[in-house]
Amino acid sequence: MRKSLFTLLAVTLLFGFTSLCYSENVVSLKHNPDAVFPQIKVDIHLSGGQGVAGYNGFIVFDAAVLKYVSATMGDYLPSGGPFLRPQLGEDGTYTLALDVDGTTYTGTTVTFPPPPIPDGDKLSLSEFFFEIPSEALQDPSSGIPKVPAAFLRPGVKLWGISIVGSAPLGAHGVPVATDGDGTLVTLTFEVIDPQKPVFILLPGAGLSDSNDVPLEPTLGKTVITASSQEDTTLSTDVNADGEVNILDLTRVASVFGQPVTEANRFADVNGDGEINILDLVQVANDFGKSTESTDSFANPDMGAPMPPETENGQQQIVVGIALPVTGHLAAIGAIMKSGFDLAFDQLAGLSYIIADDKSTADGAVAAFEELIHKQGVSVILGPASSSSARAAFPIAQENGVVAISATAGASGLGAIGDFVFRIALATDIVIPKGVEITQRKLGYQRVATLYDKTDLFSTDRDATIQLALADNGVEVLGMHTYKTGDTDFTQQLTQIKALNPDALFVSALPPEKPLILMQARAAGISVPILISSLTDVEVEAAGTAAEGALTFTGWLPTAETPGNRAFVQQYQKTYGTEPNAFAAVSYACVHVFAAAVKNAESTDAQSIRDALARIQDLDTILGKFSFNENGDGVYEPNILIVRDGVLRFFD
């Protein structure tokens, strides 16, 4: 083994690469279910590995709650290479352990490479297993990766663990590089204080290739938190309904920043003594999980791989799906996946591969690049948001790959190219009719608007509203903005209240909509609120604050459209709840695509594109569906109002 290998890995470990520039080589912490309380296991996991031959990880934990037990090499790299970690002995003391070529060397110090190779480096246990003094956390020159302040509560005893591993040497005397996904190392801990919450952090990691050159990883999920008591409930299920969903996120957001009291302790889901962004992140990470089942959605690959051939031997068409598996739109991604899954289960000859667009435009670009250039798909369903579609659609167009977004609604996206299509009604189709009808029935003459200035859909929708209001002779008293991820809209809503408008138009994405409704009513705004694409889940989250709110949309569970009743019944049977518009439009997206495949001359991208462009008056759960000359979906829009806590047709 070459001396330089460990030297490089040890150096990179001290600094902990944390770049977010690449979608490949994603290093994350994951729960490992193969543990019996009081033991807890976590994996350092690598996704999208590209040419990885060595790794290191730096783990931080609270030694007042947990005892480190062991670290075992995972399945990502071939066995037999060097593996260096602290080891707990039978006498309760720790040594440094080095595995090389099937032999384990232990001691308070070990030499790498081991004898008989001369001139090895002496490595000390204190370099790989050590208490982190508080002063080191405040000193940037200490080389200790930054630990979030929320975990530095009184009584915490931070310890750091360094783990280093490498592949064995290949035929050319260099470590064997590996691509793909897998576990780098599994760490086992034992709970020693069951009254305190557990946290395990991954503040730094490093990767290297066969030539000892560092590979800059992306850090994914870096925090594992849980109650240390043996419990089958989820701390993120704050309303105790058995599932982590937008209702839980809304409850936490409603007391965001408040001091922890008995009344709001439910919102301190990670037990760090504060209600802060870490609690919201933990709820978002657990979206879709339930106390009755494991979370298959958290792993995009689970449920996705299907056989390459159907039972009758015909070749499967493999479709790429770009979805927000993580990020602020993860809850919507989970709902969309449920609609996709239900449709794919009904169709033979189609399978899919999911790529996480991470709820960002850059993530969508990376997802499209992955699906096109590495997975080789010719059709992509997605992405979800308009901002992501604007960034990713040109990639599909340039590569002659069909892209169909189920939900991107900003105007003008279809004009990007003839290979891109959309199912959701574009704002310039749905808004003019909605404004015309609601203005006539509600009689508003002076209005205010509130929109997300950092999101394409929201800014485009507000601009379209401005034009529609002007066409109907309505005065706009003020236009107010916020940013994606904001949770406090008090300032904007107070200003809007002072204007005394007849109505308020809100253009927002799902995470913010319930909060805006609740805070608007709390601010004394009692006029009609017309809000973008409101769903039943958001109505339930907003509670009584949603009463009387109106929305312009293309679907309702009670709509008498072809196949809609059967879809709703099957969805309820499969998922135990009523579908919302995101599930419906995703379901319709698959069936529109399937209709094009059925009528295409072949299964290549050009033939499918041509067949999609020819779709006119297709029976779908959305109604009679057609594509216009820009590839935008055209069907009859609906105006809905919340009455008695339920979305109903506005008449």
pLDDT of residue 306: 35
How many Å apart are CA 266 and CA 253, to the nearest integer?
Answer: 12
Q: Work out the average pLDDT over 279-302.
A: 52
- Burial of 399 per CB tally in 10 Å (0-12, 13-18, 19+): middle
* Percentage of residues of the chain with pLDDT beyond 70: 83
Structural domain contains residue 305 = no
User: Which 3 state secondary structure label does DSSP give 285?
Assistant: helix
Count up the domains in the chain and report the number: 4
581 and 614 assigned to the same domain: yes
User: In the structure, what pLDDT confidence band is assigned to residue 574 with cuts at 50, 70 and 90?
Assistant: confident
* Positive or negative torsion for Cα 355, 369, 9, 75: positive
210 and 277 assigned to the same domain: no
How high is the mean pLDDT of the chain? 84
pLDDT of residue 298: 35
409 and 528 assigned to the same domain: no
Domain boundary, last residue among 227, 249, 266: 227
**DSSP string of 322-335, one letter each residue:** EE-SSSTTHHHHHH
Q: Work out the average pLDDT over 77-106.
A: 92
Residue 11, CB-side half-sphere exposure with 13 Å CA sphere: 10
Structural domain contains residue 637 = no
Domain boundary, last residue among 184, 206, 227: 227
* Percentage of residues of the chain with pLDDT beyond 90: 52
- First-residue to last-residue Cα distance in the chain: 77
Per residue, the 3-state secondary structure of 476-511, as one string, reads EEEEEEECCCCCCCHHHHHHHHHHCCCEEEEECCCC
Tell whether the model's pLDDT for residue 413 goes beyond 80.
yes
How many Å apart are CA 583 and CA 406, to the nearest integer?
Answer: 10
Structural domain contains residue 340 = yes
Q: Work out the average pLDDT over 303-318.
A: 45
Which structure tokens are listed for 648? 């109903």
| Alpha-carbon torsion, ordered 247, 250, 256, 260, to 10 deg | -20
CATH number, position 258: 1.10.1330.10
Cβ–Cβ under 8 Å, residues 357 and 323? yes
588 and 524 assigned to the same domain: no
pLDDT of residue 173: 78
Structural domain contains residue 420 = yes
How many Å apart are CA 361 and CA 413, to the nearest integer?
Answer: 14
133 and 160 assigned to the same domain: yes
Cβ–Cβ under 8 Å, residues 116 and 101? no
Q: Work out the average pLDDT over 210-227.
A: 78
Structural domain contains residue 309 = no
Position 81, amino acid: G
User: In the structure, what pLDDT confidence band is assigned to residue 17 with cuts at 50, 70 and 90?
Assistant: very low
How many Å apart are CA 578 and CA 191, to the nearest integer?
Answer: 40
348 and 281 assigned to the same domain: no
Tell whether the model's pLDDT for residue 188 goes beyond 90.
yes
Residue range 467-523, pLDDT digits in tens: 999 999 999 999 999 998 898 999 999 999 999 999 999 999 888 999 999 999 999
Q: Work out the average pLDDT over 245-251.
A: 69
- Rg of the chain over CA atoms, in angstroms? 27
Residue 95 vs residues 125, 128, 164, 427, 585: alpha-carbon distances, Å: 6, 10, 15, 64, 58
Which structure tokens are listed for 562? 């072809």
Structural domain contains residue 642 = no
Domain that holds residue 236: 232-294
Least confident of 300-304, 385-389, 469-473: 300-304
Domain boundary, last residue among 175, 193, 227: 227
Residue 50's contacts (CB-CB under 8 Å, 6 or more residues apart) are 24, 25, 179, 215
CATH number, position 191: 2.60.40.680
pLDDT of residue 132: 85
567 and 441 assigned to the same domain: no
**DSSP string of 128-190, one letter each residue:** TEEE--HHHHT-GGG-PPP--GGG--TT--EEEEEEEEEPPB-TTSSBPPEEEEEEEEEEEEE
89 and 9 assigned to the same domain: yes
- Picking from 28, 19, 15, the residue whose alpha carbon sits closest to that of residue 362 is 19
User: In the structure, what pLDDT confidence band is assigned to residue 246 with cuts at 50, 70 and 90?
Assistant: low
How many Å apart are CA 88 and CA 86, to the nearest integer?
Answer: 7
398 and 443 assigned to the same domain: no
Residue range 523-548, pLDDT digits in tens: 999 999 999 989 888 898 889 999 99
Least confident of 86-100, 196-210, 218-232, 370-384: 218-232
Higher-confidence position of 597 and 28: 597
Which structure tokens are listed for 319? 């479709």
pTM reported for the whole predicted model:
0.54
pLDDT of residue 302: 31
Least confident of 49-53, 301-305, 445-449: 301-305
Residue 526's contacts (CB-CB under 8 Å, 6 or more residues apart) are none
CATH number, position 583: 3.40.50.2300
pLDDT of residue 36: 78
Structural domain contains residue 84 = yes
39 and 136 assigned to the same domain: yes
How many Å apart are CA 601 and CA 595, to the nearest integer?
Answer: 12
Structural domain contains residue 303 = no
pLDDT of residue 482: 96
pLDDT of residue 296: 33
* Positive or negative torsion for Cα 432, 517, 409, 475: positive
65 and 199 assigned to the same domain: yes
563 and 524 assigned to the same domain: no
- Picking from 376, 364, 404, the residue whose alpha carbon sits closest to that of residue 318 is 376
